Amino acid sequence: MKIGQLAQQTGTPVDTIRYYEREGLLPRAARTEGNYRIYDAVHLERLAFIRRCRSLDMTQDEIRVLLRFRDTPSESCEDVNALLDAHIGHVAERIRELQQLETQLQVLRACCEEGRQAAECGILNELSHGGAELTTPAASESHLAATHAGGRQHVPPRQGGGA
């Protein structure tokens, strides 16, 4: 199959598939005479695997490790289990951080109710004279990201699994 079909079947943008190939997550695809990439079931499985991992918010490096184990079925999977534990830790820690953040934000929000003049806005005032102690901005111990996502939306174009 060609790249567009693979994209459809896995709900992955075409650009992303080519990107994974560049990054080495997918092997280089064979080409047709006209230089089109061709894929088979093996590629599809592998890409599906990658996408499931990404939907669990793993990094490429984490995925790379899992792929290595998938490729060497005779090794012990201890490290797989450990990796997953670590990743669960990443998520759990980020949740804790965000919950603290939410509390702080709610406290701050309670400083102003109605539309006052900005000069008297409890929120602006609180942000101005250090209520918080000027710490490093929300730095995770374990590589966990900030709150906002840059425009990384994609909205898959209706995924024809069984329709």
Partner DNA sequence: GCTTGACTCTGGAGTTACTACAGGGTTTCC
Partner DNA sequence: GGAAACCCTGTAGTAACTCCAGAGTCAAGC
> Which token pair is 64?
């790379």
- Helix residue ranges per DSSP H, 29-59: 41-55
In the bound complex, what is the minimum distance in angstroms from residue 151's beta carbon to Zn ion?
14
Site string for Zn ion, 115-134 (x = CB under 5 A): ------x-x-----------
Query: Which span sits near a second copy by CB under 8 A: 21-29, 34-42, 88-96?
Result: 88-96
**Is the distance from CB of 45 to CB of 79 less than 8 angstroms?**
no
Q: Single out the residue of 8, 11, 64, 65 in contact with a second copy (rule: CB under 8 A).
A: 11
The SS3 call for residue 30 is strand
The SS3 call for residue 161 is coil
Nearer to DNA, 40 or 75 (CB): 40
- Please state the separation of Cα 66 from the chain's center in Å: 16
By CB under 8 A, residue 84 contacts a second copy: yes
**Binding residues for a second copy, total number by CB under 8 A:** 83
Q: List, in order, residues 6 or more apart from 10 with CB less than 8 Å away.
A: 44, 47, 48, 51
Q: Which does 72 bind (CB under 5 to 8 A by kind): DNA, a second copy, Zn ion, none?
A: a second copy
> Which token pair is 62?
């984490």
Binding residues vs DNA (CB under 7 A): 2-5, 7, 13-16, 18-19, 29, 32-37, 54, 59-61, 137, 146, 148, 150-154
